[in-house]
Chain A
Amino acid sequence: MSKIGLTTTVPVEVIYAAGDTPVDLNNSFITSSEAMRRVEEAELAGYPRNVCGWIKGLYSTALRNPEIQRIVAVTQGDCSNTHALMETWQVEGIKIIPFAFPYDRDPDMLRLQINKFMEAMGTDWEGVNRQKKRLDQVRALAWEIDRLTWEENRVSGFENHLYQVSCSDFNGDPEGFAGEMQNFIQTACKREPLSDQVRSGLRGKGREIRLGFIGVPPIFPELYDFLEQHGARVVFNEVQRQFSMPFETNDVVEQYRLYTYPYQVFQRIEDIATEIERRRLDGIIHYTQSFCYRQIEDLIIRKKLDCPILTLEGENPTGLDARSKMRLESFLSMIGS
C-alpha cells in the first residue's frame, strides 16, 4: 500500500482498487500553514513568478512528502502547466502516471484511459466497480451536506466547500471521512437555519444574499467567512460539488463523462444554469487564478449566464486582499439593493 499523489480529480476508484491511498496534493498544499512558503520554494527552484500559484504549491508539496513516489497527472482536462509540472517532478525522481480526459467526452477514449490507468496501478474492473459502490456511499453523505446547504440553509459556504472538495481523495480514508461527515450532518441538522442568523450588513433586500461560487476552488478560503460577515452565503460551490460526483449512474465511465470540470466550458455552463434556478441564486462569483486560461472562458460565461457575475482573481495563498474585499463589497451592495 503506497501513497499516490493527485494533481486534480481522477477516477480514484482505480487507486483504491489497487489497494493504494490517494493524496490530493491540492488539499495538502492549501491546508498547510506554510502554503505561501511552498509557492516561494517553487519560485526559488525556477518556477516563473507569472505562473499559477496552485501549480507552484503542488510542486513543492510533493517534494516535501517523500513517501509520495508516484503521481497521477492529468494531461488533458486541466491546464497545460501540468505538463511541465510532471516533467519537473520526473527530474526529481517521481514516477508519473499520466491520465487524459478526452476533450469531446468520447466514452471509448475515456474507457481506454481508465483501462491504461488500471494497468499502471495493477487492478481490474471488478475491483474498480466494487470501489465505486463503496465510495458512492461516502459521496451520498457529501450530497446530503450540499442539500442541507441550499435547501435547509444549515451549512456554511466554507463547510460546503470543505466536505465536497475532500471527495477528490476522501482524505485517504473513505470510512473515516464518512464518519466525520455523519457527525457533521447530525450537528448541522440541529442548527437554526443560517439564513436567519446571517446578520444582514446591507440595507435593501434585508435577507441573506444567496451566491454561487464557480471555477476552481479558491486559493483564499477566507472568502467564505468574509461573505457571511457581509450578509451573503455561498450555497453553490460548482467545481467542489463536481468532485462529489452527484450523478445517478452505476457505470464508472459514465460517471466520469458526466463530471463537468475537465471538458468544454459549455457543459459546465449548463450545470451552473440549472443550479442558479434550483438554488435561487442572487449572483455568481466566477473565481479564476491569475495567469489561468480559464480567465479567457470568463467572457463566454458572462455571455451565456443571465445572472449578476463578479469575476474574482486570486494569485497566492496570502488571504483576501483589500482590492478583492472592495470588489466583493461593491458586488454585494449592488445585488442587495
Chain B
Amino acid sequence: MSGQQTICGIDLGSRSVKIALMQQRIAGEGLEILRLESLDTIRFYREYGRKHGEKLAVNFEALGLPVVDHLVSTGYGRNTLELAGGDAIPELKAHVMGAVYQTGLKDFTLVDLGGQDSKIIQVRKGKMIDFMTNDKCAASSGRYLENMASILDLTLEELGQYSDAPVELSSTCAVFGESELIGKIVEGFPLTELAAGVNATIVKRILPLLRPFAGEALVFTGGVAHNNAVGKLLEAGSGRRIVIPIEPQYNGAIGCCVEGLETRA
C-alpha cells in the first residue's frame, strides 16, 4: 500500500442520487475519477437503502461498489437520513468544493440548477461567503425542463439546442407553465421558438437571484448545465463568463470526495 485511497461521494438529490468513486493513488497527489453513476432517487431508497436505527444503510455490494476507505454524503437526505458508516457535509459546501476542484478557480459565482433546486453561491478564495437558494417554488429547475420537453415531444438534449427568438412565457409556476405552453403551440409558434422560450424562462428566474453577486466568472453546474441554450442565455443575460465543469451533474458528489480526502489527510 502506497497511501492509495478510494473515496465514495454520494449526493442525495431530490430527483436523482449521484455517486462518485474517486481514488488518490499516491499520498499528496490529486484525485482521479474511477466511476460516476446516477440513480433515480426513489429507486435508490427502495432498492439499495435500508433504515438502520437513525441512519441509512446502503447496500454497496448490490450497487456494485467496492469497499472504500471513506464515504461522504450530502444532499437532501442529509437532514433526515445520514448514511451509516460515513460522514455527512452540508450540501452547499459539497458544491463549492466540487466546483473549486473541477474548475481550479477560487473566485466565482456558482449557479447550480438541479432537479428541484436552484442555488447561487458566492465563492471567494475558495470559500462560500454568501448564498441564495430558491424557496417554496421549483419553477426554475430541471423538473420544469423535463415537463416542458415532454410536452414539446423533445429530448432534453434537443430542447437545449434552441435559444433564438424565444416566445414569451410568463407563468411563474412549473405546472401552469404547461398549459401556457400548450396555448402557444395552438397559436402556431414554431417548435424552435417554443423551445427557446422554455430555456429563456429558466434564465429569467435566475438572473434576479444573481444580481447581488458581482464577479467575473459564473460556474454553472447541476443537471440543467447540460442544456446548452440555458448556458448561452445565461451568459448573454448576465454578461459574465460561463464556466461549465466536465461533470456538472456530479459536482456535489465529487465535492464529497474532495472533502473526504481533506479530512483524512
* Chain A residues within CB distance 8 Å of chain B: 290, 302, 308, 313, 315, 322-323, 325-327, 329-331, 333-334, 337
State A141–B128 Cα separation when bound (angstroms). Answer: 41
Cα distance A330–B135 when bound, in Å?
Answer: 14
Contacts A330-B91, A330-B93, A334-B130 known; list 12 others, CB within 8 Å.
A313-B135, A322-B76, A322-B80, A323-B133, A326-B76, A326-B91, A330-B92, A330-B128, A330-B131, A333-B93, A334-B92, A337-B128
Q: Is the interface on chain B under 10, 10 to 19, 20 to 34, or 35 or more residues?
A: 10 to 19
Chain B, residue nearest A322 (CB)? B79
Interface flags for B91-132 (1: CB within 8 Å of A; 0: not) read 111000000000000000000000000000000000111110
Name the residue of chain A whose CB is nearest to the CB of B93: A333
**Is the Cβ of A325 less than 8 Å from the Cβ of B79?**
yes
C-alpha spacing A326/B127, complex, angstroms: 18
5 contacts between A and B (CB under 8 A): A327-B133, A329-B78, A329-B79, A330-B131, A333-B128
Whether B129 pairs with A334 at a CB distance below 8 angstroms is yes
What is the chain A residue whose CB lies nearest that of B122?
A334
| B132: nearest chain-A partner, CB-CB | A311
Contact A330 to B136, CB < 8 A, known contacts A308-B130, A322-B79, A337-B127: no
Contacts of B133 in A (CB 8 A): 323, 326-327
Tell me the bound Cα distance from A322 to B130 in angstroms.
Answer: 20
- Residue contact A315 to B136, C-beta cutoff 8 Å: yes
Q: Using Cβ atoms and an 8 Å threshold, which residues of chain A touch B130? A: 308, 334
B45-88: which have CB < 8 Å to A? 76, 78-80
Q: B237 interface residue, CB < 8 Å from A?
A: no
Residues of B within 8 A of A322 (CB): 76, 79-80
Chain A contacts of B92 at CB under 8 A?
330, 333-334
Within the complex, the shortest CB–CB distance from A6 to chain B, in Å, comes to 29
A302 to chain B, nearest CB (A): 7
- Residues of A contacting B128 in the complex (Cβ-Cβ under 8 angstroms): 330, 333-334, 337
Contact A330 B90 (CB under 8 A): yes
- Bound complex: CA A322 to CA B136 (Å): 11
Contact A323 B80 (CB under 8 A): no
Query: Cβ of A313: which chain B residues have Cβ within 8 Å of it?
Result: 135-136
Task: Specify the chain A residue showing the minimal Cβ separation from B211.
Answer: A299
| Least distance between A206 CB and chain B CB atoms (Å) | 16
Any chain A CB within 8 A of the CB of B212? Answer: yes
Q: Which of B127, B131, B135 contacts A323 (CB 8 A)?
A: B135
Q: How far is the CA of A308 from the CA of B122 in the complex (A)?
A: 12
Which are the 6 A-B pairs with shortest beta-carbon distances?
A330-B92, A325-B79, A329-B90, A333-B90, A330-B90, A322-B79
In the complex, which residue of chain A has the Cβ closest to the Cβ of B76? A322
Chain B residues positioned under 8 Å from A331 (CB to CB): 131
Q: A265 to nearest B CB, angstroms?
A: 18
A290–B135 Cα distance when bound, in Å, is: 10
Determine the residue in chain B with the shortest Cβ distance to A226.
B79
Q: Which residues of B contact A315 (CB under 8 A)?
A: 136
What is the CA–CA distance of A331 and B131 in the complex, to the nearest angstrom? 8
A290, A326, A331, A333, most chain B CB atoms within 10 A: A326
- What separation, in Å, do the CA atoms of A290 and B127 have in the docked complex? 30
Shortest beta-carbon distance, B45 to chain A, in Å?
14
Q: How far is the CA of A36 from the CA of B128 in the complex (A)?
A: 36
- A201 CA to B212 CA in the complex, in Å? 30
Taking a contact as CB atoms under 8 Å apart, the answer to whether A326 and B78 are in contact is yes
User: How near does chain B come to A76, taking the closest CB pair, in angstroms?
Assistant: 28
Min distance, Cβ A78 to any Cβ of chain B, angstroms? 23
Residues of A within 8 A of B135 (CB): 313, 323, 327
- Contacting residues, chain A, for B90 (C-beta < 8 A): 326, 329-330, 333
CA distance A294 to B31 in the complex (A): 47
By a CB distance below 8 angstroms, the chain A residues around B78 are 326, 329
The interface residues of chain B lying within 8 Å CB-to-CB of A302 are 212
A327 — which chain B residues lie within 8 A by C-beta? 133, 135
Of the candidates A313, A315, A327, A334, the one having the most CB atoms from chain B within 10 angstroms of its own CB is A334
**CB 8 Å contact bits of B190-221 with A (1 = contact, 0 = none):** 00000000000000000000001000000000
Q: Taking the nearest CB of chain A, how far is it from the CB of B259, in angstroms?
A: 11
In the bound complex, CA of A322 to CA of B91 (Å): 12
